[in-house]
A and B are shown apart, each in its own frame.
Chain A
Amino acid sequence: MKFLKIMGEYLGGIEFSAGYRWQHWIRAISIFALVATGFYLANPFITFANPSPTPTRFLHAEIREWHIIFGFAMIGAVLYKTIYFFFFKEAKYERESIKDAFNIKLAIQQIMYYMLIAKHPHTRGIYNPLQFWAYTMLYVFFYGIIITGLALYAEVYHAGLGGMLYPFAKAVESFFGGLAYVRLWHHIFMWAIIIVVFIHIYMAVYNAVFGKNGGMDAIFSGMKWEKEE
């Protein structure tokens, strides 16, 4: 890949900038927190059989609060990454992947690689075609869950930001056919994200084990290494 320079015996370079790595991990932690709190909001499994008729411990409200805090953290990370992809200079090799994405031969070779019958193809960008489309879908799900999440937020909190978002929430409700469907889709998007993340983690580990190029390390350190050829 072009951004790699000779560094000792290896070709090395910054694959992921600091901002990139931050947004990745903020996003990752938020998703785990949002899934955990989201399951609770959908069907509160911890409840108090508190005999007092006046509520005292606001467990559901607290969990909703954390859900929303991580929700906004995730919104920040997703927006950063979207802007990064389209406009940042460092994202040049990400954008290069768009060209690979429509290369059917490359996609087929990538599938053959996963089926263990062909070599890993050489790509121009940093994502192979399968990866590119999986991530594109992931962002569709992210924006789906963010849009439905913000609509739910505006219906729970009517003042401040919620008030500003209220007309937007109403438009989202009209689009989905009512608030119940907004909530159902929020739940469905969650599952779509869980499944993509599950496979993503496997692929990342797989590449770390078999790719032997520090691919997994890069998301921590930012550095990518390749043997000189």
Chain B
Amino acid sequence: MKDALMEKMRKRIEELRKLPGVSNKSIKEVLEENGISRRDFLKWAGALAVTLGLPASFAPVVAEAAEVSDRLPVVWLHLAECTGCSESLIRTDAPSIDDLIFNYINLQYHDTLMAAAGWQAEENYEEALKKFAGRFILCVEGGVPTKDGGEYLTIGPEAETGLEKLKRTAAKAAAVIAVGTCSSFGGIQAAYPNPTGTVGISKVLNKPVINVPGCPPSAKNIVGTIVYRILYGALPPVDNLNRPKWAYGLRIHDLCERRGHFDAGEFVEEFGDAGAMNGFCLYKVGCKGPYTFNNCSRERFNQHTSWPVQAGHGCIGCSEPDFWDAMAPYEEPLADHKFMSVNADATADKVGVTILTLAGVAIVAHAAISAIKPPKE
């Protein structure tokens, strides 16, 4: 069973290896240039194998998959977004293996990274669609504005709407991956009042979309999804919101190092207090880890160095749908969520107490009148 699976994966990798790569260097050389040894690379591959739910003995296969990742053509579209997802992957001063592999993949088209510009870029794009039709992976960064026919986002000299471009490209893609919360769920442009009618891309496409949300998503989740696709030739199993289960199967809270303090009822009351110094739980200063599915608490950022909760600020739920609205205010517990009302800061508790008070006043009045003038029998 295990051997058969490994055999299958090796075959897929061999097929990819036959395709022309784009990089003139092998991944080995790229890693070496960045001071990463073969040993570190295999360690990384072993860890990723386990993360993807494979036995550690699959490390060499995962390493091979990463090595041929420059064969798998990727088209990267930018829709309504801030480019933060791409930036976070390429701007790090100490790139992790994930970052390096991300840079290594066969990016046929990427607005911010490619050398081409203007008409040449347009041509490259059409070329890639033709040449790799039915074979390329489409990664989309950014939500898609839909109001008024999608005209709040137009791209290129023909002023094609993002909506059209997305649909046209997705139709030819072998698989579609939504990178980041904007393309997964709409993100900040879809936050209230969402003037451009922005939605996540899965809402306008009629093919399966794998969501890799996060603001930004961790490099491991993006690269892992791509490596998974190379290994299995299919997209990974997903949760109810189409997020790969291997990355988004558990809540931040389930694997948080401060969880013991949560259960103990030991909370930071305000930033910088004694509790904060003791590493207490950040729930009362707004941690949304209990409502957020992601693997930051396990995988962390910057070569596994740290992550927001370790640094002392709560999770803001960046990989959840609608998080700009749903998780606000970010530094108070969810129970302080402000509802739209005449009184801009009405929480459920305030509204509840107000209604209860009104009911109380009415009851006292009713009781008093009834005492003077009893009801008819």
Contact = CB atoms under 8 A, between A and B. Distances in A.
A198 B359 contact: yes
B376 A119 contact: yes
A42 B335 contact: yes
A174 B348 contact: no
Contacts of B348: 184, 187-188, 191
B256 interface: no
Contacts of A120: 375-377
Given A113-B375, A180-B320, A180-B327, A44 B265 contact: yes
By secondary structure, the B interface counts as helix
B291 A183 contact: yes
Given A44-B283, A178-B321, A51 B274 contact: yes
Interface stretch (B74-82, B149-157, B366-374): B366-374
Contact of A59 (B265, B283, B284, B290): B265
Nearest to A116: B375
B327 A48 contact: no
A55 B275 CA distance: 12
Given A55-B261, A195-B359, A178 B366 contact: no
Contacts of B374: 116, 210
B263 A53 contact: no
A49 B114 CA distance: 54
B44 interface: no
A180 B317 CA distance: 9
Contact of B321 (A44, A117, A177): A177
Interface in A45-93: 46-61, 63
A119 to B, nearest CB: 4
A119 B333 CA distance: 50
B67 interface: no
B352 A195 contact: yes
A198 B356 contact: yes
B322 interface: yes
Given A56-B264, A60-B264, A180-B327, A44 B284 contact: yes
B251 interface: yes
B376 A179 contact: no
Contact of B275 (A49, A174, A188, A212): A49
Given A47-B266, A184-B337, A116 B373 contact: yes
Contacts of B291: 178-180, 183
Interface residues of B, number: 55
Contacts of B263: 55, 58, 60-61
Contacts of B279: 53
B330 to A, nearest CB: 12
B5 interface: no
A53 to B, nearest CB: 5
B264 A61 contact: yes
Contacts of A22: none
A57 B283 CA distance: 17
Given A43-B333, A51-B278, A177 B264 contact: no
B241 interface: yes
Given A116-B375, A191-B352, A195-B359, A48 B266 contact: yes
Size class of the contact patch on chain A? 35 or more
A194 B354 CA distance: 12
Contacts of B275: 47, 49
Contacts of A210: 370, 374-375, 377
A60 B280 CA distance: 13
Contacts of A173: 240
Contact of A180 (B262, B278, B288, B355): B288
B267 interface: yes
A220 B222 CA distance: 62
A199 interface: yes
Contact of B351 (A50, A118, A170, A191): A191
A53 B323 CA distance: 32
Nearest to B364: A202
Nearest to A113: B375
Nearest to A174: B240
Contact of A178 (B320, B355, B356): B320
Contacts of A58: 263-265
B269 interface: yes
Closest 5 CB pairs of A and B: A59-B265, A55-B264, A191-B352, A42-B335, A61-B263
8 contacts: A42-B334, A47-B266, A60-B265, A61-B263, A61-B264, A61-B265, A116-B369, A170-B239
Given A44-B284, A57-B265, 14 more contacts: A47-B269, A48-B264, A50-B266, A52-B278, A53-B279, A60-B263, A113-B376, A155-B251, A174-B241, A179-B251, A183-B290, A183-B291, A184-B348, A206-B366
